[in-house]
């Protein structure tokens, strides 16, 4: 069997624990010759084979045409106590379609999107399929392989405000203990391991991993779980 060609990786949203882990894991693998990470301002990455590309905040025609075969879109917010992450470009959910369209223009044929969502909020019918018009639009852009990885978000910090507001938040937060364990957040290390295996194993087509699937994979052999999900 002929080996797969080594590709250039293009990353939007290399911030947070997940973004940092994904860049470290994939840029250091034999599958990619180098990685290009989007940034808001010039910076040194400190990682071999990783370069930054400065782009405006809004995705538009003034973005540079880069050459890449695999694209990765992450929505993990930057950790503001890290100077490096403050300089990186982080996408907003409403920029998904424009960002995917730009990546397609850059030559990306494999796109993986990690989509965090509130625990227990995604309807059952949408967990294994495309959720919303934006995901539908991305699916029509002509990617050979398109992966959507759903990952449950951790509960946010209690909001500042009056005592009644804080009390209401505390009462609602009790509901998170009623959410099945299979819909609980998974460590970034396990998500990155699952996604790396999926990028290697996925056949052509659209593949959606529910948060339950990612959680089950994290409980054992992640690569084997990804292979079963993809029918390998």
The answer to the question of residue 57 being in a domain is yes
The answer to the question of residue 1 being in a domain is no
Residues of the chain falling short of pLDDT 70: 1-6, 81-82, 117-131, 152-186
**Tokens, residue 118:** 């509130």
How confident is the model at residue 217, as a pLDDT? 87
Distance of CA 127 to the CA centre of its chain: 16
How confident is the model at residue 197, as a pLDDT? 93
How confident is the model at residue 71, as a pLDDT? 96
How confident is the model at residue 162, as a pLDDT? 58
How many degrees, rounded to 5, is the angle at CA 196 between CA 17 and CA 51?
Answer: 65
How confident is the model at residue 78, as a pLDDT? 79
How many domains is the chain built from? 1
How confident is the model at residue 118, as a pLDDT? 47
The answer to the question of residue 2 being in a domain is no
How confident is the model at residue 89, as a pLDDT? 92
How confident is the model at residue 34, as a pLDDT? 87
Contact 81, 15 (CB under 8 A): no
How confident is the model at residue 182, as a pLDDT? 45
Rounded to two decimals, the pTM is 0.80
CATH (domain of 176)? 3.40.50.720
Q: Domain residues for 64? A: 7-229
């Amino acid at each position: 069997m002929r080996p797969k060609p080594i590709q250039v990786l293009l990353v939007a949203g290399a911030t947070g624990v997940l973004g940092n882990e994904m860049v470290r894991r994939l840029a250091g693998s034999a599958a990619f010759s180098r990685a290009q990470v989007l940034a808001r301002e010039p910076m040194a990455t400190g990682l071999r084979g990783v370069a930054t590309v400065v782009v405006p905040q809004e995705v538009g025609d003034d973005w540079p045409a880069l050459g890449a075969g695999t694209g990765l879109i992450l929505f993990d917010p930057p950790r503001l106590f890290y100077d490096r992450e403050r300089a990186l470009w982080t996408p907003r959910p409403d920029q998904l379609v424009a960002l995917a369209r730009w990546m397609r223009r850059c030559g990306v044929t494999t796109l993986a999107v990690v989509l965090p969502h509130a625990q227990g909020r995604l309807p059952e019918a949408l967990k294994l399929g495309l959720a919303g018009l934006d995901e539908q639009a991305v699916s029509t852009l002509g990617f050979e392989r398109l992966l959507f990885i759903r990952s449950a978000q951790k509960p946010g910090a209690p909001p500042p405000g009056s005592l009644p507001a804080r009390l209401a938040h505390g009462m609602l937060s009790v509901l998170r203990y009623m959410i099945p364990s299979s819909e609980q957040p998974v460590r970034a290390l396990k998500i990155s391991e699952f996604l790396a295996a999926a990028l290697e194993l996925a056949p052509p087509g659209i593949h959606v991993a529910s948060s339950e699937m990612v959680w089950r994979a994290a409980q054992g052999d992640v690569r084997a779980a990804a292979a079963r999900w993809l029918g390998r």
